[in-house]
Chain A
Amino acid sequence: MTPVPPSRGAARSADPIPARAGIGLRFPHHDHVLAHKPDVPWFEVHPENYLGFGVAADDLETIRRDFPLSLHATGLSLGSADGIDAEHLGDIAELCRRIQPGLVSDHLSWSFADNLHLPDLLPLPYTLETLAVIAGNVDRVQTALGRQILIENPSTYLAFADSALTEAQFLGELTRMTGCGLLLDINNVAVSAGNLGEAPADRLDLLLEYLPAGAVGEIHLAGHAIRPLDSGVLLRIDDHGSPVSPEVWLLFRNLVECIGPRPTLIEWDTDIPAFDVLWGEQATAQSVLDACAWRPARVFAR
């Protein structure tokens, strides 16, 4: 394996997102947020919906005047063997320059190959070859943006026969090689564990065991769908279309008790409800963070 140097661009943001509960902002709620300026500590958006100019981009600049913002990308395709789309990266960098986000993140996945872009977070084989590819891509992004990015653990439906590392080992190595952080999506932990026949708590423990102390820069919470298959097996689908499940709330509480409060986001992307529903979920997440605010972060590096 070719050694990948630590990222030259990795740097802490000068405008951090607070370790409080925020909300994923989607276009149907722009009017509400612009008109009412709700008491939400921060918002997160998908930058792909705000690139260039136009109504959405203008809204975002207005909202940024009153709220810290985080950018959660879905299209950088960090695991792509074909590399990073330079034009797309340039667009993301320009948006970062305009709105000065507190955090920037994308996923441990790929979506671009053979000049095709598929709007999905497609799975990667966890091999040393893949590790070198994604480390190089993360380094390129961090250098272009001049900052550290966070990488989100994926929802898994299938695994490759030739994976040599676990997801936890892979993410641990990636953070060490590039200086990137982890966006720990608890819902994805529950979805992946359910689909792979694992206990969600065990999967979460394994992630924490392999990650450097302090690597978790953000937490995501969302709902998922459960579909019974003919075989009787339950297929969990990460659709972000329902309230956070009790199982995920429990994992979240245990996680925050373990590592201390982190910026935590409520995501809801399909069948988007009224803003007050999201606000209620946000309040629940905030109450968990408040209850654990006194706890010192446990050191969990191997």
Chain B
Amino acid sequence: MSSLASLQRRMSHAILDGDIDSMPPLARGPIPLEAAFEVHRNTVLGGLSNALRLNFPTVDILVGEAFFDQMACAYIKAQPPRRARLMGYGDGFPGFLDTYSLVDHLPYLSDVAALDLAIDHALVARDESVRRSVAIEPGISLSLPVSLTGLGLSYPGDLIRAALHSADDQALAAIDLTRQPRFIAIWRTGRQAAVRSLSPPAGVFLARLLANATAEEALAEVFTTTSPHVALPAIQAEVFAAGFARIDHTNSDGQTP
């Protein structure tokens, strides 16, 4: 290994670990080494914490700035960034929160983080591009946008997010925090992201489509738990007529007329 490579490895680990004694030999100057070292360490940790804060704004509001920074430092140590592009930094943050003992009393926090992350992903997706087109019946297909994410939650992260971002304390206090499955659709609408909760049949149907099932396969799965006369109207209203989906009529050649 070259001496420059060795120096950079020592320095990067020293900064992340806060271990000034591991720094390579430095020249004495007017600024004490400890102060100069802290400038770089603060820049690195502050930059990464702020990147996480931007990507997880609801978590930030929920736990407060100081505790968020504490969580961020623990996450940075566990999963330091590997790429220069920090817009996507934090993909592992929701999973990390599941294992972070200091938030054991906030079992819904990981779901809130997962929703923040899905919104972030929707906002960096190409607008209006089609992710997949699903044949519904001859001459009719359903197009789903590339920005669309189907998120399965165990807690009402969408309700928590809505109440926090509208500063509605009454709504926040009224949320039932009992663990129960929820399905959320998130997609990009111009410069915003839309978030909508779906009923179980619509959620299962959309999840199967996003997992590349055919419409028949998705419906078959829905019908194992829900009768068609309940499921089909829900799917019609919450998937087919939802803002994210587009119904395409095609001719016999498969082309849009």
Assess whether A199 is interfacial by the CB under 8 Å rule.
Answer: no
Q: How far is the CA of A115 from the CA of B2 in the complex (A)?
A: 16
Assess whether B175 is interfacial by the CB under 8 Å rule.
Answer: no
Question: Across the interface, do A113 and B84 meet the contact criterion of CB distance under 8 Å?
Answer: no
User: Would you give the shortest CB distance from A37 to chain B, in whole angstroms?
Assistant: 17
Question: Across the interface, do B125 and A113 meet the contact criterion of CB distance under 8 Å?
Answer: no
Tell me the number of A-to-B contacts counted with CB atoms below 8 Å.
Answer: 150
Q: How far is the CA of A129 from the CA of B2 in the complex (A)?
A: 9
Question: Across the interface, do A237 and B12 meet the contact criterion of CB distance under 8 Å?
Answer: no
Binds B, one of A15-23, A153-161, A273-281: A153-161
Count A interface residues, CB 8 Å.
Answer: 55
Question: Across the interface, do B125 and A54 meet the contact criterion of CB distance under 8 Å?
Answer: yes
Binds A, one of B19-27, B105-113, B156-164, B237-245: B19-27
Q: How far is the CA of A130 from the CA of B2 in the complex (A)?
A: 10
Question: Across the interface, do A88 and B84 meet the contact criterion of CB distance under 8 Å?
Answer: yes
Assess whether B4 is interfacial by the CB under 8 Å rule.
Answer: yes
Assess whether A119 is interfacial by the CB under 8 Å rule.
Answer: yes
Count B interface residues, CB 8 Å.
Answer: 46
Question: Across the interface, do B48 and A113 meet the contact criterion of CB distance under 8 Å?
Answer: no
A160 CB contact (under 8 Å) in B9, B27, B191: B27
Assess whether A284 is interfacial by the CB under 8 Å rule.
Answer: no
Question: Across the interface, do B84 and A122 meet the contact criterion of CB distance under 8 Å?
Answer: no
Q: Given A48-B84, A85-B83: A158 and B37 within 8 A (CB)?
A: yes
User: Would you give the shortest CB distance from A116 to chain B, in whole angstroms?
Assistant: 5
Inter-chain contacts of B2 with A (CB < 8 A): 81, 129, 133
Question: Across the interface, do A157 and B81 meet the contact criterion of CB distance under 8 Å?
Answer: no
A48 CB contact (under 8 Å) in B37, B85, B123: B85
Question: Across the interface, do B124 and A53 meet the contact criterion of CB distance under 8 Å?
Answer: yes
Question: Across the interface, do B32 and A129 meet the contact criterion of CB distance under 8 Å?
Answer: no
Question: Across the interface, do B8 and A120 meet the contact criterion of CB distance under 8 Å?
Answer: no
- The interface of chain B, by Cβ under 8 A from chain A, is 2-5, 7-9, 11-13, 15-16, 24-27, 29-33, 35-37, 39-40, 43-44, 47-48, 51, 80-87, 123-127, 188, 191
- The interface of chain A, by Cβ under 8 A from chain B, is 48-49, 51-59, 74-77, 80-82, 85, 87-88, 91, 110-120, 122, 124-125, 127, 129-130, 133, 157-163, 195-197, 229, 231, 233, 235, 237
